[in-house]
Amino acid sequence: MTSLTRRQFLQKCMLSLAAAASISYAFNFQPSQAANDTLPILLYHRIGPETDALTISPSRFKSDLQYLHENGYNTLTLAAAKDHLSGVGSITGKPVLITFDDGYLDNYANAFPLLQSFSMTASFFIITGMLDQPNRMTMSQLLEMSAAGMSFGSHTVSHRPLGNLSPAEMSQELENSKAALEDLLGKAVDSVAYPRGSYNLSTLYSSHELGYRFGLTTNTGYANSRASQLALNRIPVFRYDQPLAELLRYC
């Protein structure tokens, strides 16, 4: 993937913001009334040798964490992020939510130790049908990470694009993955990241009916308290030339 120019990145942010606003307006599950609260939600996938656009090197990830640490950012759990966007409680420092999609093994092997070295937390969205599979995290690793303060959410059972599924198939993906994680972790799971960024009004309805209260998209931009908490923007961190400071400043 070629790197984005600043102009292209800004255009992508604006288009994603418009898309998110329009679907949230059409399907709005009691958005927060907190005044102008925003939250940067960073989206990572893999930490390892940079062989594709979704993978960044451990040194780059360490540099990102160093930037957050030196600039007063406070990494939130999923529960704290929901409270922040709802105007509940107070956050010390500048809030940020770090997320990982897909549950790759390098999240445990490479990202987890770096997060611990900075006393930071992150949230991992797991494809439950791929747990314990080659190159994916194991159940025991999730339990270890959960005990260390990491958060977990659903990335469905099979990673099929939810917007392309029938209502019955969509509900199965959402319900079964939620149940599997709750059974493993012994705690409620009410957050979902939509696979491949695919979702529609039916997805939001099903998610809400099944007990999800926090939904993350791949629409680019800051999460906003005025939007539905089931259709929140994120800031993807790919193999772009822009350092994290640029992504946070211009999106």
Residue among 42, 16, 51 at smallest CA distance from 100? 42
Model pLDDT for residues 19-72, shown as the tens digit of each residue: 445 454 444 444 444 434 899 999 999 999 998 999 999 999 999 999 999 999
Model pLDDT for residues 190-247, shown as the tens digit of each residue: 999 999 999 999 999 999 999 999 999 999 999 999 899 999 999 999 987 689 999 9
pLDDT tops 50 at residue 13: no
**What's the pTM value of the predicted model, to 2 decimals?**
0.87
Is domain 6-250 given the CATH code 3.20.20.370 in the classification? yes
Domain ranges of the chain: 6-250
- What span, in angstroms and rounded, lies between the C-alpha atoms of 30 and 88? 15
Query: What pLDDT is attached to residue 241?
Result: 60
Residue among 241, 192, 240 at smallest CA distance from 215? 192
**Arithmetic mean of pLDDT over the chain:** 89
Model pLDDT for residues 114-169, shown as the tens digit of each residue: 999 999 999 999 999 999 999 999 999 999 999 999 999 999 999 999 999 999 99
Query: What pLDDT is attached to residue 198?
Result: 98
Q: HEC profile for the chain? A: CCCCCHHHHHHHHHHHHHHHHHHHHHCCCCCCCCCCCEECEEEECEECCCCCCCEECHHHHHHHHHHHHHCCEEECCHHHHHHHHCCCCCCCCEEEEEEEECCEHHHHHHHHHHHHHCCCCCEEEECHHHCCCCCECCHHHHHHHHHCCCEEEECCCCCCCHHHCCHHHHHHHHHHHHHHHHHHHCCCCCEEECHHHCCCHHHHHHHHHCCCCEEEEEEECCEECCCCCCCEEEEECCCCCCCHHHHHHHC
